[in-house]
Structure 1
Amino acid sequence: MASIDINQVSKIYDGGVRAVSAVDIQIADGEFIVLVGPSGCGKSTLLRMVAGLESISEGTVRIAERVVNKVEPADRDIAMVFQNYALYPHMTVRQNMAYGLKNRKTPKAEIDARVAEAARMLELEPYLERKPRALSGGQRQRVAMGRAIVRKPAAFLFDEPLSNLDAKLRVSMRGEIRKLQRRLGTTSLYVTHDQLEAMTLADRLVVLNGGRIEQIGTPLEVYHRPASTFVASFIGSPAMNLLNGRIDGNLLSVWPISLTLSAQAAHSGDVTVGIRAEDLGPVRDGMPRLPFRMDYVEELGGSRLVHGRIGTQALCASLPVGAELSEDMVLSFDPARLHFFGADGRRLELGLSQASAVSVSTTVA
């Protein structure tokens, strides 16, 4: 096991195109880090630079405190798990799992012991003599993980390993991956575009956008205190509601309501106001009220997502199944649950725990 230190790492292609720009990430020994972001944000490129499959234009990568910029992939003491499994179709499960160890001239008795241990851990014992074509997608992915485990590497690198699986299997497989990583305690760097997958797996998330880091933090830190409108809209399902607002002195206007602040805000002018769907609810005494026009409802069984508008701005609320619905309705919210972002999209801290409604328009356009 080992730490991974990514220091000011950039990838610049011909023509000066920056796929990754000045990325800093310190991954502790045994930590599970997930790189998450939309397609083209640079997460797979960054992973491939750590693996040695892509050259590093600027910066350094250290694995176990050793600079590996010029070290061949086979000599970095890492193991990769790919989305396409990368299994040899003519080999059995046993042979696929043992292949890397055979190439390293590992004694046969040790190979047999490691393969047997990994097969038992991954519940692959009944399939050891089968070839990949006789396995399901989930079983093939477990074989790919087993091939990585038997090497006992310093770190695991996962490149969207679950993207080819169906939704139900993805849920069970990510649970297996997390349980396995905790059992082995191996440092892991995992790439996904699926924010739900990222939230459930990570010790810490690294949210990437346009080759740059938007935020690093635990899943709950990133969810509850997004550092930018990009993070707020990317992390969470449904995405955070983002509304146009304005602050003048101690007055916050988010059409069609106005709130007074407990003190004059440090920021003045236009702001983006964010609120999670679950922080909007039925009318409660002492809480600001928000006129809302409903468009449609998504029934989720235990809750319902109600989509609509305040004025011309879209809004989604997560309401209990028993909540009364109508085309024109009123929601309420706790001002302390609001998030604020400046013109640059970065988070603002305004301290609104004592805000109160001073005027409410009942007209919804």
Structure 2
Amino acid sequence: MATITLDTVRKVYAGNVEAVKGVSVDIDDGEFIVLVGPSGCGKSTLLRMIAGLEDITTGDISIGDRIVNKVDPADRDIAMVFQNYALYPHMTVYNNLAYGLRNRKIAKDEIDRRVKEAARILEIGDYLERKPRMLSGGQRQRVAMGRAIVREPAAFLFDEPLSNLDAKLRVQMRVEIKRLQKALGTTSVYVTHDQLEAMTLADRLIVLNGGAIEQIGAPVDVYDKPASTFVASFIGSPAMNLVPVRSENGRLQAESGAGLDAPNLHGSDRYLLGIRPEHLEISGEKANGTDGLSMEFTVNVLEPVGAESYIYGQLDGAGPEIVVRAPSHARYDPGTVLYLNATAADIHFFDAENGRRIEG
């Protein structure tokens, strides 16, 4: 196991395209870090630089107490798991797991010990004599992880390993990976664009946008206190509602002129007001004199999703579209007028110009 340190790491491609913009972060020994963000945000490039598969333009990457900028991937004491299983189809599961160790001239008895221990941990002991074509997608991904485990590396690097699995298998494998990482205690860096996957796996999230870090923190902290409108929109499904507002006589009104009432808590004239769909309470009447938020809302679409429903609509029927989470039995026809209320503690404010969070 080892710490991983990135010190002002940049990656610039030909044409002066800056894919990673001076990223600095310390990853603790045994920590599970998830790099999350949309396509093109630099997360896979960053992971590949840690692995040694991409050159670093400037900055330093350390694994343990060693700067590895010029160290070959094979000598960095890391193991990678990709979304493509990359198993040898003509080899048994046992031989797929053992192949890398044989190339490193590990003793036969030690190879056997490591392979059987990895198979026990991943519950694939019954499949060691099977070929990959005889395995399900989830079983193949377990073998791919087993190939990393047998190396007993200082760190695991995961590059969207669940992308090729169906929804049910992804849920199962998330649980498996979390359990496995805690059992082994190995430092892990995991890349995904799936914010639910990121939230469930991470000790800490690193949210990336355009090659730069938007926020680092525990999943619950990132969700409860997003550092920017980008984080507020990316983390959470459905995304946080963001409403442009202005101050009038010490209270806030929607920029569109739609019906909204909330206290002006910061003394500025204009903000973006944020509220998560689950923090909006549906009412048949406006909450007068509230210290929180109250707004008139016209239903456009109701979307049942099983255990709950999402109601999409507009402020005053003409303002910005927002979404509210409702019980699964909720039934509202298009055009129905409701009032949505929320407490002051659940309201977020962001700078209208740069999108950064404004603290109370």
Tell me the TM-score normalised to structure 2 length: 0.93
One-letter code aligned to 2:116 = A
- Counterpart CA distance in 1 for 2:27 and 2:341 is 41
Aligned to 2:358: 348
Q: Is the CA contact 2:98–2:111 (under 8 Å) kept in the aligned structure 1?
A: yes
Unaligned runs of 5+ residues in structure 1 are 352-365
Does residue 185 (structure 1) correspond to residue 194 (structure 2)? The answer is no
- Counterpart CA distance in 1 for 2:357 and 2:105 is 54
Aligned to 1:95: 95
Does residue 162 (structure 1) correspond to residue 172 (structure 2)? The answer is no
One-letter code aligned to 1:93 = V
* 1:59-138 superposed matches below 5 A: 59-138=59-138
Aligned to 1:23: 23
Does residue 334 (structure 1) correspond to residue 343 (structure 2)? The answer is yes
Listed one character per residue, the Cα deviations across residues 36-66 of structure 1 (whole Å, up to 9, x for unaligned) are 0000110000000000000000100000121
Unaligned runs of 5+ residues in structure 2 are none
Q: Is the CA contact 1:282–1:323 (under 8 Å) kept in the aligned structure 2?
A: no
Offset of residue 246 of structure 1: 1.6
Aligned to 2:32: 32
Aligned to 2:301: 296
Offset of residue 184 of structure 1: 0.2
- Counterpart CA distance in 1 for 2:194 and 2:310 is 20
Q: Is the CA contact 1:90–1:131 (under 8 Å) kept in the aligned structure 2?
A: yes
Aligned to 2:146: 146
Does residue 260 (structure 1) correspond to residue 263 (structure 2)? The answer is yes
CA distance 1:328–1:139, change in 2 (3 Å): same
One-letter code aligned to 1:149 = I
Q: Is the CA contact 1:306–1:316 (under 8 Å) kept in the aligned structure 2?
A: yes
Offset of residue 200 of structure 1: 0.2
- Counterpart CA distance in 2 for 1:83 and 1:258 is 48
- Counterpart CA distance in 1 for 2:260 and 2:234 is 27
CA distance 1:52–1:299, change in 2 (3 Å): same
What is the percent sequence identity of the aligned residues? 61
- Counterpart CA distance in 2 for 1:248 and 1:256 is 13
Aligned to 2:247: 247
One-letter code aligned to 2:341 = S
SS in 1 for 2:312: strand
Aligned to 2:235: 235
- Counterpart CA distance in 2 for 1:341 and 1:145 is 41
Aligned to 2:325: 318
Offset of residue 143 of structure 1: 0.2
Aligned-residue RMSD, C-alpha: 1.5
SS in 1 for 2:85: coil
Moved more, 300-309 or 271-280: 300-309
